[in-house]
C-alpha cells in the first residue's frame, strides 16, 4: 500500500468514528444492563383483553391509540344514549300543561335519583321555578334552554379540568392514581397511558399495587401494548412507597415526560392502608413533585362514591376525579355531587370497556348529552 492510500484509509476511518461518537452523544441515556429494577422487555409481557384479562400470548405489535378528538366525538354519543332517561324525564315534566307543586316535587325526585345530591337538586328546582314563573314560557325549546343553563351552572364549566402532565427540566410530571377496590383503577392507568402516548408523550408506569401480582401484570401489559415500560417489584407485598419512588427515579433517569403510579385498591375504612397511601405520596416527593392525585370512582356507586371521595381527600390531597362506568347509567348527577362536596373537578370519564374509552370531561358536552 502506498503512503498516499494509507493516509486516505486512516482519514476515512477517523470520519466514521467521529460520526458514530456523535450519534451516541445525541441519544438518551440507556437503562443499566438488565434494565431498572422490576422492568421487563415489551416482548416478554403477556397480552390483555379489553376486559382486563391477561393472556399468555406475547405482544406482537405496538398499537396507536385514538386521538382525544376522536374519543370525544364517539363517547358523546354513548353518553347521550346512557343518560337519555334523565334528560327526557325532566323535559317531559317541564312540558306539562300545568306545572304545579307536585310537578316540581317530581322534578326534584328525578334529580335525586340521578345522584345529583339534595342541595344541588333543591337549588336547581328553585332556580328553574323562578325563571319559569318570570318568563311564563311553555315553549319546549325555551324550557330546554332554561334547563340547560341551570344544569351547566351546577356542573361548572369554569373549573380547570386539565390533567397536569407537563414535565419540568430534569423532572417528569408525576400522576398518582388512587381508589377503592374494583373501581377500575389499574385499567384507568393503562387507558390514561394510551391517552398520553397519543399526545406523543414519553410515559413510564409504576406498579405500586404490590399486594396483587396480577395487578402489576395487568398494568405491565397495558403499557406494553403502546411501548411504555413498567417499574414493578417481583416480590409480592413489597413496600409500595419504595416501588413508587423507584418508578419516579427511573422516569428521571430515562427523561420521561410523565410517570403514572398505580396504587393498591384501599378500603376507605382501613385507617392503616390510608396512612400508607399518604406515605407513598411523601416518599415520591423526595424525588419529584406529585402533579396530580386522581381519585377513581365507579359512577354506579352513587352517593357511596361521595363518601369514598371524602375519606381519600382526608388522606391525600385529591386534585381530580376519574368517573368510570358512566355508560349504561342515568346517574350522571354524581358529577355535580362530588364537585360540590370536595371542590375538586371531574377530569376524566370512562364510558366503556374498550382500550380507548377514556376521555377528558367536558362540561358543555356532558350537559348537552343529558338533555338532547
For residue 15, being part of any structural domain is answered with: no
Last residue of a domain, one of 115, 132, 155: 155
Same domain, yes or no, for 197 and 284?
A: yes
Q: What is the domain extent for residue 108?
A: 80-155
Whether 134 and 193 share a structural domain: no
* Number of domains, the chain: 2
The residue behind cell 325563571 is 131
Same domain (yes/no): 91, 219: no
Confirm whether 195 is domain-assigned. yes
**Over the chain (372 residues), what is each successive 10-residue block's mean pLDDT?**
60 59 44 42 42 42 69 64 67 84 90 85 92 86 89 92 92 94 88 93 94 88 94 88 96 97 75 81 95 91 75 86 76 81 89 83 84 72
| Together in a domain, 261 and 304 | yes
Interior/surface letters 106-129, b for 16+ CB within 10 angstroms, e for the rest? bbbebbbbbbbbeebbebbbeebe
| 250 and 332 assigned to the same domain | yes
Residue-wise pLDDT tens digits, 43-87: 444 444 444 444 443 444 677 776 666 666 666 666 666 555 677
- Residue 162: how many CB atoms within 10 A of its CB? 12
Domain boundary among 130, 155, 180: 155
Per-residue model confidence (pLDDT) at position 222 = 94
From residue 83, give the alpha-carbon distance in Å to each of 6, 80, 86, 292, 321. 80, 5, 6, 29, 20
98 and 231 co-located in one domain: no
113/214 same-domain check: no
Let me know whether 202 and 278 are in one domain: yes
Same domain (yes/no): 142, 168 = no
User: Domain with 110 in it: what CATH number?
Assistant: 1.20.120.140
The CATH number for 353's domain is 3.40.50.300
Q: Are residues 145 and 247 in the same domain?
A: no
Report CA torsion sign: 323, 324, 327, 331: negative
Domain's final residue, options 155, 179, 209: 155
**pTM of the full predicted structure?**
0.80
Query: How do residues 232-268 score in pLDDT, each as one tens digit?
Result: 998 878 899 999 999 999 999 999 999 999 998 766 5
Distance CA 341, CA 120 (A): 10
Report how far residue 83's alpha carbon sits from residue 114's, in angstroms, rounded to the nearest whole number: 9
Checking 315-319 for CB contacts under 8 A at 24+ apart, the result is: 315/274, 315/275, 315/277, 315/278, 316/176, 316/178, 316/277, 316/278, 316/281, 317/293, 318/178, 318/293, 318/294, 318/342, 318/344, 319/164, 319/292, 319/293, 319/294, 319/344
Pair 99, 168 in one domain = no
> How far apart (Å, rounded) are the C-alpha atoms in residues 156 and 252?
36
- Residue 22 domain-assigned (yes or no): no
Q: Indicate whether 257 and 359 sit together in one domain.
A: yes
Amino acid at each position: 500500500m502506498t503512503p498516499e492510500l494509507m493516509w486516505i484509509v486512516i482519514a476515512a476511518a477517523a470520519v466514521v468514528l467521529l460520526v458514530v461518537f456523535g450519534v451516541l452523544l445525541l441519544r438518551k441515556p440507556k437503562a443499566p444492563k438488565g434494565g431498572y429494577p422490576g422492568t421487563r422487555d415489551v416482548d416478554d409481557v403477556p397480552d390483555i383483553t379489553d376486559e382486563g384479562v391477561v393472556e399468555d400470548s406475547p405482544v406482537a405489535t405496538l398499537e396507536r391509540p385514538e386521538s382525544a378528538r376522536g374519543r370525544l366525538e364517539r363517547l358523546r354519543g354513548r353518553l347521550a344514549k346512557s343518560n337519555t332517561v334523565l334528560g327526557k324525564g325532566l323535559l317531559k315534566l317541564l312540558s306539562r300543561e300545568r306545572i304545579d307543586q307536585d310537578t316540581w316535587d317530581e322534578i326534584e325526585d328525578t334529580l335525586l335519583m340521578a345522584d345529583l345530591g339534595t342541595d344541588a337538586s333543591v337549588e336547581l328546582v328553585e332556580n328553574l321555578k323562578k325563571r319559569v314563573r318570570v318568563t311564563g314560557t311553555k315553549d319546549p325549546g325555551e324550557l330546554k334552554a332554561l334547563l340547560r343553563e341551570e344544569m351547566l351552572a351546577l356542573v361548572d364549566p369554569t373549573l380547570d379540568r386539565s390533567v397536569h402532565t407537563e414535565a419540568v427540566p430534569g423532572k417528569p410530571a408525576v400522576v398518582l392514581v388512587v381508589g377503592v377496590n374494583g373501581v377500575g383503577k389499574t385499567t384507568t392507568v393503562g387507558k390514561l397511558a394510551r391517552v398520553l402516548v397519543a399526545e406523543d408523550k414519553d410515559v413510564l408506569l409504576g406498579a405500586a399495587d404490590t399486594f396483587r401480582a396480577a395487578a402489576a401484570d395487568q398494568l405491565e401489559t397495558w403499557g406494553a401494548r403502546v411501548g411504555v415500560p413498567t417499574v414493578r417489584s417481583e416480590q409480592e407485598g413489597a413496600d409500595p412507597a419504595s416501588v413508587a419512588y423507584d418508578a419516579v427515579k427511573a422516569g428521571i433517569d430515562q427523561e420521561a415526560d410523565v410517570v403514572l403510579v398505580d396504587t393498591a385498591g384501599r378500603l376507605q375504612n382501613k385507617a392503616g392502608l390510608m396512612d400508607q397511601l399518604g406515605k407513598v405520596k411523601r416518599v415520591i416527593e423526595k424525588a419529584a413533585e406529585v402533579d396530580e392525585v386522581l381519585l377513581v370512582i365507579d359512577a354506579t356507586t352513587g352517593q357511596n362514591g361521595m363518601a369514598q371521595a371524602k375519606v381519600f381527600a382526608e388522606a391525600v390531597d385529591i386534585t381530580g376525579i376519574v368517573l368510570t362506568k358512566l355508560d349504561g347509567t342515568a346517574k350522571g348527577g354524581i358529577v355535580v355531587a362530588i364537585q360540590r362536596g370536595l371542590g375538586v373537578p371531574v377530569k376524566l370519564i370512562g364510558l366503556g370497556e374498550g382500550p380507548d374509552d377514556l376521555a377528558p370531561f367536558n362540561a358543555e358536552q356532558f350537559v348537552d348529552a343529558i338533555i338532547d
